[in-house]
Amino acid sequence: MSDVERREFTCVRCPMGCSLTVSLDDGVVTDVTGNGCPRGHAYGEHEATHPERVVTSLVRVAGDFRPVSVKTVSPVPKECVADVLAAVAATTVEPPVSIGDVLVPDVCGTGVDVVATRASA
């Protein structure tokens, strides 16, 4: 007999926040219900198998108390979020910084860059 499981999620792809029910059979998604759009279906499938998050945080700028804000350019595996935050917190950059500058390349070996989202003169 196979291992059938149902898991509930709130879709975060858009502010609608649809309540999703994802059915898994042996770890394989067999059905997603409750989604209002295909993005919700994809989210449910993704969230049930390998959840990811965009991480946003702050990087200190040498010589200025005002930090620059940063983000991962794409989502990183959810289990890596704490490590990514630690890596970002340990970083100090030299000004000037422009929006889009890569401040931490390939953060924590995720293959994802951390880029500036706010400039610093």
Partner 1 sequence: MRTTPCGHDDGSDVIVVGGGAAGLAAASAAASDGATVTLVEREGHLGGILQQCIHNGFGLHRFGEELTGPEYAARDARMVEADPSIRVLMDTSVLAVDGDDDAFDVTLVGPEVGMAHMSARSVVFACGSRERGRGAIGIAGSRPAGVYTAGSAQRLCNCDGALVGRRVVVLGSGDIGLIMARRMTWQGAHVLMVCELASEPGGLRRNIAQCLDDNSIPLHLSTTVTRVFGHDRLEAVEIADVDPRTLVPVPGTERRVECDTLLLSVGLIPENAVITATGAEIDQTTGGPAVDESLETSVPGVFVAGNELHVHDLVDFVSEEGGAAGHAAAAHALGDADRDAAPTWVRVTKGEGVGSLTPQRLRDPADEVTLRLRVRSRMTDAVISIMSGDAVVKRVRKRVVVPSEMQTVRLTPADLAPVTGDLVVSCSEREGVE
Partner 2 sequence: MVDVVVIGAGIAGCAVARELMRHDLTVEVFEAGYDLACGASRTNSGIVHGGYDPEPGSAKARYNVAGARLIPSLAEELGFRYVANGSLVVALDEDDLPRVEELVDRGHANGVDHVRAISADELRSLEPNVNPAALGALLCESSGICDPFGMTVAFAENAAANGARFHFESPVEGVRHADDGQGWLVSVSGRDVHARCVVNAAGVGAMAIHDQVSADKIASRPRAGEYVLLSRDMGTTFSHTMFRVPGPAGKGVLVSPTVEGNLIVGPDAQDRTCASDTWTTPEGLAWVVDKAHDLWPGYDRRQVIVNFCGVRPSGDDGDFVIGEPDDAPGFYDIAAFDSPGLTSAPAVAADIASRVADRLGAAPNPTFDGHRERPLRFIEMDEAERTAAIAADPLFAHIVCRCEQVSEAEVLAAIHAPIPATTVTGVKRRCRAGTGKCQGGFCEPLVAEIISRECGIPLEDVRLEGPGSEVAPWAIGEVR
The residues of the shown chain that bind partner 1, judged by CB under 8 A, are 9-12, 14-15, 17-18, 36, 53-58, 60, 65-67, 69, 71, 78, 85, 89, 99, 117-119
CA–CA distance, 39 with 51 (Å, rounded to integer): 14
Nearer to partner 1, 26 or 65 (CB): 65
- Using alpha carbons, select from 77, 76, 67 the residue that is nearest to residue 103: 67
Using CA atoms of 19, 24, 29, 32 in order, give the dihedral in degrees to the nearest 10.
Answer: -30
58 contacts partner 2 (rule: CB under 8 A): yes
Check binding of 87 to partner 2 (CB under 8 A): no
Please say which residue, 33 or 69, places its beta carbon nearer to partner 2: 69
Residue 29 interacts with partner 2 (CB under 8 A): yes or no: no
Q: Which does 90 bind (CB under 5 to 8 A by kind): partner 1, partner 2, none?
A: partner 2
Closest CA to 80 of 114, 43, 103: 114
56 binding partner 2? (CB under 8 A): no
Which of these, 67, 70, 61, lies nearest to 101 by C-alpha position? Answer: 70
Q: Which of 65, 94, 109, 121 touches partner 2 (CB under 8 A)? A: 65
Q: Assess contact for 36 and 23: CB atoms under 8 A.
A: no
